[in-house]
């Protein structure tokens, strides 16, 4: 992309041409003060590009309207990608302040475009003429997406409604940013310092090492620190023998955003929910959930609820049976207390040990981070012919970030993969995939084709220098999951940027990631890569057998905590109006309605539910993980039915119709092209061990 011609270009690396390897962002040169001027220049450039489209005196054509819009905003995309990447993965006070200032401005900019009467008139004209334009299938899909997205944003409404929609959009952007920063502040401010062997009782070596490293990062040498990062607090809850400390850590973990202080999120949730309901009404829907699902695979809230309520009863029964078994363990140990939420993970480990002679400490020595990365890359090679070669000269935003050039089976460059694996105080919690640049063929074909820069971000507890970082099986599954998203971005093979890679329906986007998790569990993969970090010996067959036998252990708990979150999300967004909403009371009422076991908390309580309230990415759509799991459970059966987990013909169909296809088709059509039919929920219930035959 050509550099912007401004006086500040030479001194602002965000506005200059990037001469770095593969055109990666020059992180060593980028400072927080560069973003303000860069956004000003990028926004102005995008406005000029849109004005040129709407001011074109020629009749609307696909080329002078849709293709022109696809080409517009490239500089803004580039600056935004770098900014939001840093604001999430390596932030600071300056970036947080700028994020608060920018979010309503960027929302207003987007509203100005999507509510532009002249622009929509050109798009609508093309839509009415679509059968006579001679469009190829991809162009037809792009036009349909533009028309649908503009209509769903309010194009075509009267001025009063459009003005109100613009106000709502800007306010929601501010609320979402504030919500996420409140959660981050709570996560950064809380630590549990362990001082002495009594506080460390029960903690395995890997967790002690990680806690020691976390303490060192916080200048508490000689101590051990537990943080609210999931990879820190969950193993602590599993292993600590100190029930009082487990309770302290657990209560802090579930209270993020809910402490009635300056970072409390309940008022933000109430206002967000009310504004979303109002926006839905302005657009002609009776609830935000109805609005959201209309443009998803699910189509209606009733279909979403139908899936969740099909899974809930067997999951709850399974969880209650496990609860009773753990209460029996407590009694047998002489404990005089009822199992509480901060006890579940601790006694679940004991129950797993009793049922399967297996515990987490036995598995972790075989799951060194480097080996799990190698396993994930090897599966990508066997399925899709990709190779990942580590490269050291690509700029990164933190010294821990690793970079890899990705090539296909013919040795052709596919893209660059960035892996940011370790938790740190400057990073938001969780795991995600994003990009610094997306694939497209619009700006050049062949060697000039734009290839992606793909990022995976995780929050694993880092080992001490010179030691191996060891993962839990859930951590390893997360790594495979995020690389599944990464492959969706890397393998993208479309012309138009707006439908590339992961830009698909939310309840379809988790299919490539959740499906990829299956290969971690394949015995041939574990035998090759699950090597003891000290001896190098492969995981014994006896341990592999235990892992297989225990695959569905505790799935009642996992399903309950997830489905409860999805149902509460749905309840919030099925409200026809949400004025003066009492968030705490509403949460309690929703959970009481489904008879939520008191020993289990939602995976994400509303006050720290960033999927849903930090922007609208998964608002009314947290169900998407389970919707996609229906697909992924059935999709992996396509491989199982061939007798080869890496069957080349099945992998080729998967690549063609899912991983490389972007949003070129309706997701139901894409899945049917791959599988020959749509799935049922039965494969999911079997996978989770929630059928009578699969239950332990």
pLDDT digit string (tens) for 274-322? 999 999 999 999 999 999 999 999 999 999 999 999 999 999 999 999 9
Q: How many angstroms separate the CA atoms of 283 and 280, rounded?
A: 5
For residue 6, pLDDT beyond 60: no
Res. 696: pLDDT tops 70: no
pTM of the model: 0.93
What average pLDDT does range 128-147 have in this prediction? 98
Local confidence band at 4 (pLDDT 50, 70, 90 cut-offs): very low
CA–CA dist 460, 463 (Å, integer): 9
Q: Which residues 6+ apart lie within 8 Å of 96 measured at CB?
A: 87, 181, 184
What is the side-by-side strand order in the sheet with 432-437?
387-390, 402-407, 413-422, 453-460, 432-437
The Cα 104–Cα 431 span in angstroms is 25
What local confidence, expressed as pLDDT, does residue 303 receive? Answer: 97
- Give CA–CA dist 11/538, Å, rounded: 53
- The pLDDT confidence band at residue 616, using thresholds 50, 70 and 90, is confident
pLDDT at 518 over 60: yes
55-91 confidence digits (pLDDT tens): 999 999 999 999 999 999 999 999 999 999 999 999 9
Question: Which pLDDT value is given to residue 647?
Answer: 98
Q: What number is the average pLDDT over the span 481-509?
A: 97
pLDDT at 446: 72
**Cα 472–476–482 angle (5° rounding)?**
140
Confidence of residue 7 (pLDDT cuts 50, 70, 90): very low
> Is 692's pLDDT higher than 60?
no
Q: Compute the C-alpha angle 656/657/659, nearest 5°.
A: 75
Report the Cα 287 to chain-centroid distance in Å: 25
Instruction: Report which DSSP code applies to 386.
Output: -
Place of tokens 């989770």: 688
DSSP string, 98-162: HHHHHHHHHHHHHHHHHT-HHHHHHHHHHHHTGGGS---HHHHHHHHHHHHHHHHHTTTS-HHHH
Would the pLDDT of 224 be above 70?
A: yes
The average pLDDT across 326-330 equals 98
Q: Mean pLDDT over all residues of the chain?
A: 95
**Buried/exposed 287-298: b ≥16 CB within 10 Å, e otherwise:** bbbbbbbbebbb
Q: What is the pLDDT of residue 360?
A: 84
**Do 427 and 89 form a contact (C-beta atoms < 8 A)?**
yes
Both tokens of residue 440?
């497209």
pLDDT digits (tens, 9 = 90+) for 627-658: 999 999 999 999 999 999 999 999 999 999 99
Evaluate if residue 434 carries a pLDDT over 80.
Answer: yes
449 Cβ contact list (under 8 Å, min separation 6): 439, 440, 441, 443
Query: 25: how many CB neighbours lie within 10 A of its CB?
Result: 24
Which domains, from first to last, does the chain contain?
A: 9-156 (1.10.1370.40), 190-254 (no CATH)
Q: Please, which pLDDT band fits residue 9 given cuts at 50, 70 and 90?
A: low
3-state secondary structure of 256: coil
Q: What residues are labeled active site?
A: 482
- Specify whether the CB–CB gap between 16 and 9 falls below 8 A: yes
| Calpha distance 383→409 (Å, rounded) | 11
Residue whose tokens read 């055109």: 23
Mean pLDDT value of segment 176-198: 95
Q: How far apart are CA 125 and CA 144, in angstroms?
A: 12
Confirm if 360 and 235 have CB atoms less than 8 A apart: yes
Can you give the length of the chain in residues? 696
Which pLDDT belongs to residue 8? 56
Instruction: Note the pLDDT tens digit of each residue in 446-479.
Output: 777 999 999 999 999 999 899 999 999 999 999 9
Q: Kindly report, residue by residue over 552-602, the tens digit of the pLDDT.
A: 999 999 999 999 999 999 999 999 888 889 999 999 999 999 999 999 999
* pLDDT exceeds cutoff 90 at 164: yes
168's tokens: 């709502």
Nearest C-alpha neighbor of 492 from the set 438, 416, 434:
438
49 burial class (0-12, 13-18, 19+ CB within 10 angstroms)? middle
Distance CA 378, CA 603 (A): 31
155-168 per-residue burial string, b: 16 or more CB within 10 A, e: under 16: bebeeeebeebbeb
Measure Cα distances from 179 to 44, 110, 432, 434, 607 in Å: 28, 21, 18, 20, 8
Q: How is 302-371 classified by DSSP, letter by letter?
A: HHHHHHHHHHHHHHHHHHHHHHHHHHHHHHHTT--S---TTTHHHHHHHHHHHHHS--HHHHGGG-BHHH
pLDDT over 70, % of the chain? 98
Give CA–CA dist 685/695, Å, rounded: 10
And the tokens for 304? 């979403």
CB 583 within 8 A of CB 605: no
Above 50 in pLDDT, residue 258? yes
For residue 92, the tally of other CB atoms under 10 A from its CB is 12
Q: Dihedral of CA 407/500/481/79: which sign?
A: positive
Nearest-CA neighbor of 651 among 659, 584, 237, 436?
Answer: 659
Angstrom CA distances, 398 to 12, 193, 464, 467, stand at 20, 26, 17, 20
């Amino acid at each position: 992309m050509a550099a912007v011609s401004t006086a500040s270009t030479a001194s602002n690396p965000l506005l200059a041409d990037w001469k770095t390897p593969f055109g990666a962002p020059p992180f060593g040169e980028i400072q927080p003060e560069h973003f303000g001027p860069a956004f000003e220049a990028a926004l102005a450039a995008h406005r000029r590009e849109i004005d040129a489209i709407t001011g074109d005196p020629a009749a609307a054509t696909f080329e002078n309207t849709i293709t022109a819009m696809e080409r517009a905003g490239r500089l803004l995309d580039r600056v935004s990608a770098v900014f939001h990447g840093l604001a999430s993965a390596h932030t600071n006070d300056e970036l947080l302040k700028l994020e608060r200032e920018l979010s309503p401005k960027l929302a207003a900019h987007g509203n100005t475009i999507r509510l532009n009467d002249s622009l929509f008139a050109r798009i609508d004209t093309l839509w009415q003429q679509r059968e006579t334009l001679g469009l190829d299938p991809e162009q037809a899909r792009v036009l349909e997406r533009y028309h649908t997205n503009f209509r769903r944003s309010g194009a075509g409404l009267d001025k009063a409604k459009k003005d109100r929609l613009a106000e709502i959009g800007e306010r929601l952007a501010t609320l979402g940013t504030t919500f996420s920063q409140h959660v981050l502040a709570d996560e950064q401010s809380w630590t549990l310092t362990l001082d002495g062997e009594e506080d460390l009782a029960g903690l395995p070596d890997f967790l002690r090492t990680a806690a020691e490293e976390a303490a060192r990062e916080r200048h508490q040498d000689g101590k051990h620190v537990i943080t609210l990062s999931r990879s820190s607090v969950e193993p602590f809850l599993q292993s600590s023998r100190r029930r009082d400390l487990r309770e302290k850590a657990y209560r802090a973990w579930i209270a993020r955003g809910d402490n009635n202080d300056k970072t409390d999120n309940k008022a933000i949730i109430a206002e967000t929910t009310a504004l979303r309901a109002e926006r839905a009404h302005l657009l002609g829907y009776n609830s935000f959930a109805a609005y959201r699902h209309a443009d998803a695979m699910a189509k209606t809230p009733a279909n979403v609820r139908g899936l969740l309520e099909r899974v809930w009863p067997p999951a709850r029964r399974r969880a209650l049976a496990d609860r009773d078994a753990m209460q029996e363990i407590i009694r047998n140990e002489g404990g005089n207390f009822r199992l509480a939420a901060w006890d579940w993970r601790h006694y679940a480990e004991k129950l797993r040990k009793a049922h399967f002679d297996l515990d987490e400490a036995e598995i972790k020595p075989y799951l060194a981070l480097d080996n799990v990365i190698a396993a994930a890359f090897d599966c990508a090679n066997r399925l899709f012919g990709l190779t990942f070669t580590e490269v050291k000269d690509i700029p990164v935003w933190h010294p821990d970030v690793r970079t890899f050039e990705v090539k296909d089976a013919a040795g052709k460059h596919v893209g660059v993969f960035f892996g940011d694996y370790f938790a740190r105080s400057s990073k938001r919690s969780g795991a995600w995939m994003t990009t610094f640049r997306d694939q497209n063929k619009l700006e050049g074909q062949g060697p000039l084709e734009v290839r992606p820069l793909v990022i995976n971000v995780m929050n694993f507890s880092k080992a001490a220098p010179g030691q191996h970082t060891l993962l839990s099986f859930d951590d390893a599954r997360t790594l495979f999951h995020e690389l599944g998203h990464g492959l969706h971005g890397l393998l993208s093979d479309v012309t138009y940027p707006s439908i590339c890679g992961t830009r698909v329906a939310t309840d379809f986007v988790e299919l490539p990631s959740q499906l990829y998790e299956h290969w971690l569990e394949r015995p041939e993969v574990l035998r090759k890569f699950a090597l003891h970090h000290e001896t190098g010996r492969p995981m014994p067959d006896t341990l592999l057998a235990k892992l297989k036998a225990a695959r569905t252990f505790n799935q009642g708990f996992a399903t309950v905590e997830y489905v409860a979150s999805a149902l509460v999300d749905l309840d919030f967004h099925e409200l026809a109006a949400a004025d003066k909403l009492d968030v705490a009371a509403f949460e309690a009422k929703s959970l009481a309605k489904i008879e939520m076991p008191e020993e289990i908390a939602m995976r994400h309580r509303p006050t720290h539910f960033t999927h849903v309230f930090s922007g609208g990415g998964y608002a009314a759509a947290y169900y998407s993980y389970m919707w996609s799991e229906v697909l992924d459970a059935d999709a992996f059966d396509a491989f199982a039915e061939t007798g080869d987990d890496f069957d080349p013909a099945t992998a080729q169909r998967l690549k063609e119709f899912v991983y490389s296809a972007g949003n070129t088709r309706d997701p139901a059509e894409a899945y049917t092209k791959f599988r020959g039919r749509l799935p049922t929920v039965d494969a999911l219930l079997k996978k989770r061990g929630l059928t009578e035959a699969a239950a332990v």
